Amino acid sequence: MSVSTVIVVIIIAVGFFLGLSRIVASFSGKSCCSDGQKRTRVKKAIVADTDVSHYPYQANFLIGGMSCEGCAQNVANALNAVEGTWATVDLGSRIATVRSKTPIDQKALSDVVSKAGYKILQP
């Protein structure tokens, strides 16, 4: 075997190992980006009513702990699981926009975000 062949085999092996470790980490409850934080994978929550006029209350929250689109989706799922809410999360700004049919209970939202492994940083 030539030196270049050995180098290519090593590069492929390292790539395979890193990919496999990310898959294992995501199934073990860690973030999809494998940052070492223990995160709970939140069941996908589908919001059937996406008519903005049905949600008289709205608040924006800065979310801490997100580092990829998978994290943002996990936070959105946690918030959307709260009855009467519709949330969207923008990873770039780290802002969760929460619309609600009833007055927004920041404590309840903070609790579900925390259970998912993230944190609301500001009201």
Which pairing describes strands 57-64 and 95-100: parallel, antiparallel, or unpaired?
antiparallel
Give me the phi and psi of 114, to 5 degrees please.
Answer: -65, -40
Q: Residue 16 — very low, low, confident or very high, per pLDDT cuts 50/70/90?
A: confident
Asked if residue 102 lies in contact with residue 63, where contact means CB atoms within 8 angstroms, the answer is no
Average pLDDT over residues 1-24: 78
**Per-residue pLDDT, 13:** 82
The residues near 113 (Cβ < 8 Å, ≥ 6 apart) are 61, 63, 75, 78, 79, 96, 119, 120
**Residue 111 scores a pLDDT above 90:** yes
Q: Residue 39 — very low, low, confident or very high, per pLDDT cuts 50/70/90?
A: low
Q: Of all residues in the chain, what percent carry a pLDDT higher than 90?
A: 59
Q: Which residues pair with 22 in a beta bridge?
A: none
Average pLDDT over residues 43-47: 87
